[in-house]
Amino acid sequence: MTFVPAKWPRKLRSQTWFGGTTKDNIYHRSWMKNQGLPADLFDGRPVIGICNTWSQMTPCNAHLRDLAERVAHGIYEAGGLPLEFPVFSTGESALRPTAMMFRNLAAMDVEEAIRGNPMDGVVLLAGCDKTTPACLMGAASVDLPAIVVSGGPMLNGWFRGERVGSGTALWQMSEAVKAGTMSKEDFLEAEAAMSRSPGSCNTMGTASTMASMAEALGMALSGNAAIPAVDSRRRVMAHLTGRRIVQMVKDDLKPSNILTKQAFENAIRTNGAIGGSTNAVIHLLAIAGRVGVDLTLDDWDRCGRDVPTIVNLMPSGKYLMEEFFYAGGLPVVIKALGDAGKLHRDAITVSGSGIWDEVKDVRNWNEDVIRPISDALTDHGGIAVLRGNLAPGGAVLKPSAASEHLMVHRGRAVVFEDIDDYKARINDEALEIDETCVMVMKNCGPRGYPGMAEVGNMGLPPKVLRKGITDMVRISDARMSGTAYGTVVLHTSPEAARGGPLAVVQTGDMIELDVPNRRIHLDIPEAELLARLAAWRTATERPSGGWAQLYHDHVEGADTGADMDFLKGCRGNAVGRDSH
Ligand code: FES
């Protein structure tokens, strides 16, 4: 693919507001000037929006005001006019019931704010899990030149000489307390060691994964994903991004030029190589839906199946994002994919040239952190897409975070009707369960929870943990935090709340998991399954009013990205009528 830049100079979109001497032009300029902006800033130069997901309620993004200033420096320097604007910030750690329930709302906010305002291009400032896909989805639906700059990960956590990985350590310590191998006091002391600087989770969780996806898709400058939030080079990245977007506007380099099927295939393979989050499956499907790229769950299995995981980061491995950066970061991984023939080298990026040009000369500075392909963490990274009578629409499992001895397993189902049922009974010593059982949880999908909670990695029962067992097969229609691990079947589709077969599994049924053959099977006679499905009635209540009702009525299944049916596609950037 070759990108041919547009001719420059030409009249830009923002001049519809600012260029001319009509009453409306004067109105638009005059009010802007109350910010102390000189007249010549409205002379036809590119106006760049800085779309900021900053919020103190989203601690991972709380430093983005500083980065926005750096972006603005770069925009001014390159001859543009920067104008920062806020959008809904979806913080993973605090927002209830789930940040995911608001990803599509945030994407709608991003989309309408870009389209309705006088801008010619946009810098997307994102950090925590959902803010990156929300920004990409919204920008893709407008298709003005757009570029991502990530907030960057937190520094390594350390507790008593050990690395503390965001999220991963929380799950491990919580299980250790239940198993009686860690005291509550130590757990509380470790809390202060988990988050020791601004930034997003320092593991290869969903935030780091989505920052990597933005870079692998070509929507961020090369090297953007891994720079720690507090490293001065993060500010440099923001500054350079500001410079770059001005040229992208002059060249008219848009998301539709970058977000091609090849770009998505590059991102899927990159996800396998980094041992990335299962959440990326949903987000990339949703982003593809905005640009009209035909991406399916099967593309995830096809492209990711033979990709080895080479990034040795928690939760699949040992290190954290700081070490990933010092080893050379994502460009080293993309180069390794290119060397192995697993990269579309000429996929266009925000640079205007092919992704291979960005990475071909980089070097790996630590082969324990970014392993050579010949010494991979696991030969089959990627995401396994499972199908069968239990998941006719598909389900996913992350092999690099699962246990080898459970990849082929048959066990008795222990069913929890929803997360509340699970919480009420999991610690009951009378619960009939052992490590050979398959834990099943229903009603945690996009419509069932609502928002598809990250509870798929259900903690094990204490009586199993006390035996030293740390993993069991678990199946649900929920998601799992990118920082979590285990032999966990997720995103089972159709979800229970829509009457998928998961809804009718009963305690005592036998379930078969066969990851090598991509099979998930409920071992009951077909007639019995059909009879149960015919008798099924939803237990999910329709919310009354507000976003929750709109979400319930219009959210699609996880197998197609859990976007709203009315938000799919690109609605363009045509300038609306002036009402003044
Ligand atoms: Fe924000 Fe993990 S909670 S990145």
AA letter at 141: S
Q: Pick the atom of ligand 1 nearest to 483's CA.
A: 2
505 lines ligand 1 (CB under 6 A): no
Dist. CA 158–CA 438, nearest whole Å: 34
Question: Quick check: CB of 62 below 6 Å from ligand 1?
Answer: no
pLDDT at 539: 80
Determine the Cα–Cα distance for residues 242 and 224; give it in Å rounded to an integer: 13
- Angle at which helices 206-217 and 279-291 cross, to 10°: 40
Question: Which residues are CB-neighbours of 264 under 8 A, at least 6 positions away?
Answer: 217, 284, 288, 293, 295, 299
Task: Please tell me the distance between residue 101's alpha carbon and the centre of ligand 1 in angstroms.
Answer: 16
Q: Which of 210, 95, 219 is nearest to 152 (CA)?
A: 210
Confidence (pLDDT) at 482: 82
What was the pLDDT predicted at 382? 86
Residue type, 53: T
Give all strands (DSSP E) within 94-180, no chain letters.
Answer: 121-126, 146-150, 157-159, 162-164
Top mutation candidate among 64, 92, 203 for ligand 1, by most atoms within 8 Å of CB: 92
Choose the residue to mutate in 60, 61, 64, 96 for probing ligand 1, maximizing ligand atoms within 8 Å of C-beta.
60
Does the CB atom of residue 200 touch ligand 1 within 6 A?
yes
Which atom of ligand 1 is closest in space to residue 167's alpha carbon? 2
Asked if 53 contacts 107 with a C-beta cutoff of 8 angstroms, the reply is no
| pLDDT number for residue 576 | 82
- Could you give the CA distance from residue 215 to residue 205 in angstroms, rounded to a whole number? 16
pLDDT digits (tens, 9 = 90+) for 77-100: 999 999 999 999 999 999 999 999
Q: What are phi and psi of 433, to 5 degrees?
A: -155, 140
CA 193 – CA 169 distance, rounded (Å): 10
Q: Is 150 helix (H, G, I), strand (E, B) or coil?
A: strand
* Residue 83, token pair as written in the block: 């104008």
Residue pLDDT, tens place only, 387-429: 999 999 999 999 888 999 999 999 999 999 999 999 999 999 9
pTM of the model: 0.97
Is the CB–ligand 1 distance for residue 154 below 6 Å?
no
- Spacing, Cα 449 to ligand 1 middle (Å): 20
Return d(Cα 74, Cα 68) in angstroms, integer. 10
Does ligand 1 have an atom closer than 6 angstroms to the CB of 454? no
CA of 157 to the centre of ligand 1 (A): 14
Question: Atom 2 in ligand 1: which residue has the minimum CA distance?
Answer: 201
Query: What pLDDT sits at residue 450?
Result: 85
Q: Does ligand 1 have an atom closer than 6 angstroms to the CB of 556?
A: no
Place of tokens 């009402």: 579
- What number does the ligand 1 atom closest to the CA of 92 have? 3
Does 482 contact ligand 1 (Cβ within 6 A)? no
What's the pLDDT at 257? 98
Start-to-end CA distance of the chain, whole Å, equals: 43
207 lines ligand 1 (CB under 6 A): yes
The ligand 1 atom nearest the CA atom of 58: 1
Q: Supply the residue whose CA is at minimum distance from atom 1 of ligand 1.
A: 128
Are the C-beta atoms of 443 and 477 separated by less than 8 Å? yes
Do the beta carbons of residue 102 and residue 451 sit within 8 Å?
yes
Is 46 within 8 Å of 10 (Cβ atoms)? no
- Helix (H, G, I), strand (E, B), or coil: what is residue 401? helix
Distance 489 CA to ligand 1 centre (A): 22
104-162: per-residue pLDDT in tens? 999 999 999 999 999 999 999 999 999 999 999 999 999 999 999 999 999 999 999 99
Ligand 1 pocket member 129 (CB < 6 A)? yes
Which domains are seen in the chain, by residue range?
45-155+197-375 (3.40.50.2300), 158-194 (no CATH), 384-540 (3.50.30.80)
Is there a contact between 475 and 439 (Cβ–Cβ < 8 Å)? yes
C-alpha 125 – ligand 1 centre gap (Å): 15
In 3D, which of 234, 273, 255 has the Cα closest to residue 125?
234
Residue 483 CA to ligand 1 center (angstroms) comes to: 9
Mean pLDDT in runs of 10 for the chain (580 residues)? 92 97 96 97 98 98 98 98 98 95 98 98 98 98 98 96 92 90 94 94 96 98 98 98 98 98 98 96 98 97 94 93 98 98 98 97 98 93 94 94 95 97 96 98 94 93 94 97 90 97 98 97 98 93 95 97 98 86
Per-residue b or e along 307-332, where b marks 16 or more CB atoms closer than 10 Å to that residue's CB: bbbbbbbbbbbebbbbbbbebbbbbb
Instruction: Quote the mean pLDDT of the chain.
Output: 96
Query: Which tokens hold the place of 323?
Result: 């070490």
Rounded to the nearest 5 degrees, what angle is found at the Cα of 290, between the Cα atoms of 289 and 291? 95
- Residue 93 alpha carbon to ligand 1 centre in Å: 6
Cα-to-centroid distance, 545 and ligand 1 (Å): 29
Cα–Cα distances (Å) from 30 to 22, 24, 25, 26, 37, in that order, read: 12, 10, 8, 6, 10
Other C-beta atoms lying within 10 Å of the C-beta of residue 214: 28
CB atoms within 10 A of CB 305: 17
For residues 517 and 454, give the distance between their C-alpha atoms in angstroms, rounded to a whole number.
Answer: 26
> Does any ligand 1 atom lie closer than 6 A to the CB of residue 229?
no
Tell me, in angstroms, the distance from the centre of ligand 1 to residue 381's CA: 23
| Among 219, 67, 44, residue whose Cα is nearest residue 118 | 44
